[in-house]
Structure 1
């Protein structure tokens, strides 16, 4: 809207409180604050939900790959053939052997369920997710035949373990004796403790060289699965489709979406639901703008009539009141963006402060999966929120502006 000089002057005058108009100004300020809170809430929630998905995806894929080709009975013989075929498939970055087996671990008189993960030594050294999150010890000590292993930080706390301490792994696949099968118990030293930030991994993972895992589980040269990384995770099914005939009789191909479908679907549904619910806050704020403009029009009825007699056009008066409403909405949007940005920047400190004040554990990693509150702001989503608030603010100005423009100066000034 392009305003001429006198229209800008009137709009500016109506934005500031006049004599006896303190209540109208208070309602307008509340409207501005409501818009700010609505916009901030939308930006914060959408950013946190995006951060959840991104963090979970990076950490889960960083340890599990984009897909696995897993043997039906937990053993994959002649895995080299599948790995070679996978590497030759267009769109595949790597295909590496992997062993995963749930076992029991004991140390210091404590027993915990663990997930033993056998990985090639070169993959242990190059895995950024683990190597960049080592809390103590050294991943370089986890080598074949050394008897050293790496464990998650929360598992270390549960077992009272530390670098250099011993942990016994108990496998049900043991020696056959006249009285039955005797479980196989092998002792290892803790070489490193890592914390990737996903509770389930930090609470259960025991990482060792694949050769040691084969000896522990008596697999010989077999592995449990082949882990695959692809160029485009969203098209992993299409990329690995050519491998289906080769794996059909002895293995199943499972991608990251199937392995974590319930989690990611729940996040997406919650994200959409939160957007819809929090959009109602903006809608309520817009109704506040509507009510404040209606009150302003009622208070300025005499001024409007005088302006009409002085030659002000209906269109000009509509532009004035529409500008007032849109300005309130725009200032609220800018303030909301600032509040949202500050909250996201200090998000973990704010969560810790609330936990300290309330004495409640608001961020339990066993429930939230991640150890810290994540956030990832999508500029497109922020633009969507801004446009939504602007459009609603504009629509809220139409009726009051029309009401002001339709004022009959003869009726208003008849008894003046």
Structure 2
């Protein structure tokens, strides 16, 4: 919709009302602020939701792979042959043997439930990127060294060089019953994955040390698999699942975390719908401000009509006024939203300081920091929705202005 110089001049004049029309300008300003806040709220919430899902998926998949092969009974005896078959499967990029067992750890009278995790050397090397203290290089076979999560270290009061005792209930048999196996390990590294449950429970060691602790011999508990595409992991693992039917179960990351990611998906949709109502309310402000402007300018509109202005010109003028308010509000909302996202962590800390409340408890939110990841497609949809609603809000006042009868208005002037 291209405006002529005359139409654009009138539109600019009406977008900047005079002193006697301050109330109309106030309503138009409120409309601009409302659209800005609505768009900003949508951008912020959807980006945080996307970031939360992406960060959670990245950390969960980064530690556990895209799929897990777990034997019935918890022991995979012929795991070397199975590992070769998995590695030869098209679409599989990495397969690693893994041991994971819930046990107890004690230090200075403190007791915590832990997950002992036995990893291969390549997996330990990948995990070493998350180290916050100590050195993963000392985690060698039969060294008696382990790495533990940062939250677990805090709960136990452990520092680098301290010795923790890991208790395995499946110990040795004696005439008085089974005596739990207690083995001391030196903490040589502390890591932080960024997922609270992992940092609060994991104790990592080489696979041979885990086999010795658990008295499992040359067996493992599971094989973690990484594929070329996380979303099609089960399709990739279908041949392996069929070959191991009755011996082991194949589970992908979607199944293992189904309730969590389904809840996130539902919440994303619900938040988008609820926050879209804010934008809808904002465009109603545009509608009301244009209706007030049309009523205030009825005499001017009648004079313009008698001077030769067409209904089409008046329609374009008032549509432009409302659409410009919506477009400026949308642009302002994008800027405000991205500024907030850039400074999101200081904002969270500031609100926590002012309210005295912990807004981001890692034990509840899983992640240690507030994440953010903006999706260009979603941002585009938000902008288009705001602009379309702003345009639709201008139609009724513009049609009302265009249908003004100059004879009826000017009859008694």
TM over 0.5: yes
Shift of 1:333: 0.4
| Whole-angstrom CA distance in 1 between matches of 2:166 and 2:32 | 62
1:92–1:230: 8 Å Cα contact kept in structure 2? yes
| Whole-angstrom CA distance in 1 between matches of 2:99 and 2:81 | 17
TM-score by length of 1: 0.99
Shift of 1:344: 0.3
SS of equivalent to 1:132: helix
Equivalent residue number for residue 258 of structure 1: 255
CA offset digits 1:77-98 (Å, max 9, x no partner) = 1011111111111000111100
SS of equivalent to 1:173: strand
Aligned residues: 413
Shift of 1:279: 0.1
* Counterpart mapping for 1:69-84 below 5 A: 69-84=69-84
Equivalent residue number for residue 318 of structure 2: 321
SS of equivalent to 2:73: coil
| Whole-angstrom CA distance in 2 between matches of 1:119 and 1:370 | 23
Shift of 1:197: 0.8
1:82–1:246: 8 Å Cα contact kept in structure 2? no
Shift of 1:19: 2.9
Shift of 1:196: 1.1
Could you say what the CA RMSD is over the residues aligned between the two structures, in angstroms? 0.6
Shift of 1:345: 0.1
| Whole-angstrom CA distance in 1 between matches of 2:215 and 2:242 | 29
Equivalent residue number for residue 201 of structure 1: 198
SS of equivalent to 1:63: helix
Equivalent residue number for residue 40 of structure 1: 40
SS of equivalent to 1:122: helix
Shift of 1:131: 2.1
Equivalent residue number for residue 94 of structure 1: 94
Shift of 1:132: 2.4
CA offset digits 1:193-248 (Å, max 9, x no partner) = 01111000000000000000000000100000011010011111110001123211
Equivalent residue number for residue 29 of structure 1: 29
1:147–1:188: 8 Å Cα contact kept in structure 2? yes
TM-score by length of 2: 0.99
Equivalent residue number for residue 109 of structure 2: 109
Equivalent residue number for residue 352 of structure 1: 349
Equivalent residue number for residue 403 of structure 1: 400
SS of equivalent to 1:30: helix
* Matching of residue 10 in structure 1 with residue 7 in structure 2: no
Match of 2:236 among 230, 234, 239: 239
1:114–1:204: 8 Å Cα contact kept in structure 2? yes
CA offset digits 1:154-211 (Å, max 9, x no partner) = 0000000011000000001100111111100000000100111100000000000000
* Counterpart mapping for 1:102-141 below 5 A: 102-125=102-125, 127=126, 130-141=127-138
Equivalent residue number for residue 62 of structure 2: 62
Match of 1:296 among 289, 293, 305: 293
| Whole-angstrom CA distance in 2 between matches of 1:245 and 1:301 | 77
| Whole-angstrom CA distance in 2 between matches of 1:236 and 1:245 | 14
Gaps of 5+ in 1: none
CA offset digits 1:310-329 (Å, max 9, x no partner) = 00000100000000000000
Shift of 1:252: 0.2
1:69–1:247: 8 Å Cα contact kept in structure 2? no
1:76–1:224: 8 Å Cα contact kept in structure 2? yes
CA offset digits 1:294-316 (Å, max 9, x no partner) = 00000000000000000000010
| Whole-angstrom CA distance in 1 between matches of 2:50 and 2:189 | 31
| Whole-angstrom CA distance in 1 between matches of 2:276 and 2:242 | 48
SS of equivalent to 1:143: coil
* Counterpart mapping for 1:267-286 below 5 A: 267-286=264-283
* Matching of residue 379 in structure 1 with residue 376 in structure 2: yes
* Matching of residue 167 in structure 1 with residue 174 in structure 2: no
1:121–1:144: 8 Å Cα contact kept in structure 2? no
| Whole-angstrom CA distance in 2 between matches of 1:309 and 1:19 | 26
Shift of 1:109: 0.9
